[in-house]
Structure 1
Amino acid sequence: MLTIHHLGHSQSERILWLCEELGLPYDLKRYQRDPVTILAPPDLRALHPLGAAPIIEDDGVVLAESAAIVEYVIVKHGNGRLRLGPDHPDYAAFLYWFHFANGNLQPVVARLMMVNRVGLGPDHPVQAAVQGRLDRVMALVEARLSEVSYLAGDDFTAADIMSVFSLTTMRLFQPIDLAPYPAIRAYLQRVGARPAYRRAMHKGDLDLAPMLA
């Protein structure tokens, strides 16, 4: 059985959600952030040199990095479900949006969080550049979701599982006003209605109401 090491309010919610969507059994081990540093506790850091969640254990394999874990679970335990194959007309879109999550969306939100903590101010060129990049990224997601129900197209896929954290729970760390993005808000409502998402969020973060608006 898979063991999911889940750090509260982190990208490891993706792995719980994936397993719930696939109907896979798993053993959940929860960890709480240090109240001062907001970092992972020592017992989680002991599992992997970077000390970052998510981490899974599976028959002697210890694996980190959420995208790697998602692909591993889908291939090894999910019979290829929630991903599109090369014969599907939306295959390229699936690949793009799956990797967009950790290639563009999550990094730019995290960069803005760090820049804001430094306190450069809105007129500083670095602050303006990072904010401008986020605005372009969000506009791209908004445009996509104005055309399709899910990021890869009509089908819900792992590309959505990879992306939703940055639009929801990550806003605990870096607020983003979703008022200018009606398609994203409607998308989050569709996602939030999925029973597997609701189960995963309840199991992983009992103290957190999903930030779907």
Structure 2
Amino acid sequence: MALMKSKDVPKDAVVLNEEEAISYVWDLISNWDSISDVWALRYGPTFLGGLNAFSGILINSHYRNKLKLGTYGFYSSVIPITLMPGLMTILFHRHIILSDMLLMKKDTCPVCYEVKSAAIQLGFGVAYPMILGPTSALMFAHRYNTYRVPNLTDGVTGLFQFLKKITKRFHSTLAFLTVMQLVSSSVVTYFEIRNNVTFRRKLLEIEKELEDRES
């Protein structure tokens, strides 16, 4: 059964709401015989989520090592800085990018999808860990006295200068992560668009063959 939007509903059509429609499409993709037709749709979000989890690991490790935290607060920082960005990237990419693409909610250009994908990737892979990583490291360093950190009551300026100092040698890695996120999100989204076109074309071909047999 082909999935399409229509104001004039045929008599033999099955009417689905948006949630049922996207669930139906994902079932088709999951059970599609030719993986080469849908590989980006199947594995693209997971790959991007893994990339952001890797980015979170590097950022978290940098600040923890700089402040000599060792194993102090390890799991408390790994879960929100590593696991959460990965999971949120998968969920947001599937919901905001792929659901819109597969259901053809609106005529969004390919570049718009790539820009949205890049925003999700940078948001959860760079911005979010760069806020939470140093914050949690400073908190644990202050709690366990592993490193002498500026006290917030002494002023915000000193704290920012301290963060700038310990982040200085991380700038090249941060730039590499940013470029990697941009390139990866662009490439994955490009192949998702191609997969979607191929998937829909073959789906229509299968339906046409079935109609020809019945007639």
TM-score (norm 1): 0.29
Per residue, is there more strand in 1 or in 2? 1
Larger Rg: 2
Per residue, is there more helix in 1 or in 2? 2
TM-score (norm 2): 0.29
